[in-house]
Amino acid sequence: MITTRAANITSPAAGRNTTLSLNQGYFARRNALDWGFAALVMAGGLYALAAYGEFMDVYEKGILLAAIPAAIAMGWFWRALRVLMLVVTVLARSEQVFWLKYFLSSQSAILWMSMLFFMSTIFYWLGMFAGNKPVSGASSHSATLESLGSKIAWAAVGMALIGTLVRWYESYLIGADVGHIPVSNLYEVFVLFCWMTATFYLYFESQYKTRALGAFVMLVVSAAVGFLLWYTVIREAHEIQPLVPALKSWWMKLHVPANFIGYSMFSLSAMVALSYLIKQQAGETRWYKLTPIWLLGVVLCFVPIVFRKSPADAGGSSYWVGYLLVSGLIATGFLLGRRHIASRLPSLEVLDDVMYKAITVGFAFFTIATVLGALWAAEAWGGYWSWDPKETWALIVWLNYAAWLHMRLMKGLRGTFAAWWALVGLAVTSFAFLGVNMFLSGLHSYGTL
């Protein structure tokens, strides 16, 4: 007979005994809200299958059915996600309501996302420099502003998801042969990158009970939003276009999201590495010891001067001058306020742990994406690997983080060198993502600027 053992554990915070079942099963720990959420997800998934199944092939049906338990598991793992899922689903469906049509069209929602991410970044930084004195016995100015930054980031993620879902729906309104999941060009994947990076950060924020890192991570998100707006203007990239033949594959639905989980996590780890270096070197007065700050503009803005030379940039020079100016102001703020910033950041041990976990998750998904990409290439081009520039640089990114993790696990890599390596990794990843598109050509030429 199987018995369940229990142990009484005294909770100092609560001042009472709490009974904890040591052998309680995973499903036994679920409550009524968990099962209600699961029922809603299952009902929604089966409805989608019944309503749109005739337009799907067997692989797409398999992806949909696999997404149902995956969504349930994510909602159970992190309860904040279930609220996000439900709100996004309801509002995305509201696109068909007349008075919400223009407010929640895909382009409107993505513009709202852009504005909200900028606002979130501003509030996080206001919170970073605000006083810690409590207001009328309540939370401090700093905590209040950072809390607003966090809530606005959640709203931005919601708008990004709404814009993505509505854009998907709108593509099918144009024509059944035009409709596709919106992860096929730079405009669409930058939206994907923005909300993924922000969502992963919000998870770490909830786990480590600190919002100080939001000021750093939201900088790279805002940089991506800035690029997205520039790219929209010069290319009118918001217009939905039919897929090129090579992209008409169900592999795209798996390869691209997995790839951008890797990109998002690598970017997040780089910004945590930057905060690590600033905290570690806050007391330095020698200029050469403050190199991370001097390089901030390059790391965050993907070298705006290079983008000004892009053939696609017609009349965008003033935009990039302004972008470079903002980067300079940010770097100056880091330089002058580094001691205060360091005092607000978590301990070096926490920063190191977040950096390690972000790279671990990013590497796992980037590996999956690389394997999926090889399988897709075999179907589309007849070979698993062709040493195309995009593939070559993807391999370089993979080897870079594989070496980082190997040194971490085998040699105990920690501290300054590990942080620098993670920060340089962002430059390598950025070139693999954008630099190849700008300067090199190959089989992935459909992603050029």
Domains identified in the chain, total number = 1
Domain annotation covers residue 270: yes
Alpha carbons 194 and 114: distance in angstroms, whole number: 9
pLDDT (average), residues 10-15: 43
Dihedral class, residue 346 (left if φ above 0, else alpha if ψ from -120 to 50, else beta) = beta
User: Does 322 map to a domain?
Assistant: yes
Cβ burial of 23 (10 Å; 0-12, 13-18, 19+) is: exposed
Q: Is 93 exposed, middle or buried (0-12, 13-18, 19+ CB in 10 A)?
A: middle
Element (H, E) at 199: helix 186-208
Q: What is the pLDDT of residues 41-68, one digit of tens each?
A: 999 999 989 988 887 878 888 888 999 9
Distances (CA, A) of 213 to 59, 124, 177, 378: 40, 9, 44, 41
| 404, two tokens | 């980082």
> Residue 316: its pLDDT value, please?
53
Residue 397 lies in a domain: no
- Is the residue at 356 inside a domain? no
Q: What is the pLDDT of residue 145?
A: 93
Instruction: Report if pTM > 0.75.
Output: yes
Q: What confidence tier does 443 reach under pLDDT thresholds 50, 70, 90?
A: low
Give yes or no for a contact between 163 and 191, defined as CB atoms under 8 angstroms apart.
Answer: yes
**Location of structure tokens 């945590």:** 272
Res 202 pLDDT > 60:
yes
Tell me the C-alpha distance between 357 and 379, whole Å.
Answer: 33
Pick from 13-27, 247-261, 372-386 the range whose average pLDDT is largest: 247-261
Helix (H, G, I), strand (E, B) or coil at 2: coil
How far, in Å, CA of 86 to CA of 41, rounded? Answer: 9
Rounded to the nearest integer, the mean pLDDT of the chain is 82
Confidence of residue 225 (pLDDT cuts 50, 70, 90): very high
- Per-residue pLDDT tens for 334-367? 777 888 888 899 999 999 999 999 999 999 999 9
**Cβ-contact 41, 68 below 8 angstroms:** yes
Q: How far apart are alpha carbons 188 and 31 in whole angstroms? A: 37
Does 407 have pLDDT greater than 80?
Answer: yes
Residue owning tokens 């969504």: 71
User: What's the average model confidence in pLDDT over 379-389?
Assistant: 81
Given this model, what pLDDT does residue 347 score?
A: 93
Go through 105-122 and write b for each residue having 16 or more CB atoms within 10 A of its CB, e for each that does not: bbbbbbbbbbebbbbbbb
Q: What is the pLDDT of residue 195?
A: 96
Range of the domain at 96: 78-346
Model confidence at 448, in pLDDT bands (50, 70, 90)? low
Top pLDDT among 131 and 104 is at 104
Residue 389 has a pLDDT of: 84
Is residue 263 in some structural domain?
yes
Residue given tokens 């939905």 in the structure block: 240
Q: What is the pLDDT of residue 6?
A: 45
392, part of any domain: no
Question: How confident is residue 270, by pLDDT bands cut at 50, 70 and 90?
Answer: very high
The confidence score (pLDDT) of residue 1 equals: 41
pLDDT in tens, 136-181: 444 578 889 999 999 999 999 999 999 999 898 888 888 877 888 8
Task: Return d(Cα 345, Cα 277) in angstroms, integer.
Answer: 11
More confident residue, 29 or 11: 29
pLDDT for the residue numbered 247? 80
Give residue-wise pLDDT tens across range 271-310.
999 999 888 877 666 655 666 665 655 555 555 555 555 5
Q: What is the pLDDT of residue 17?
A: 45
Q: Are 67 and 42 in contact (CB under 8 A)?
A: no
- pLDDT at position 156, please? 97
Position 282 in a domain: yes
Query: Which pLDDT does position 286 carry in this prediction?
Result: 62
Q: How far apart are CA 409 and CA 404, in angstroms?
A: 9
Which residue's entry shows tokens 């030429």? Answer: 445
In a domain, 56, yes or no: no
| Residue 242 DSSP symbol | P
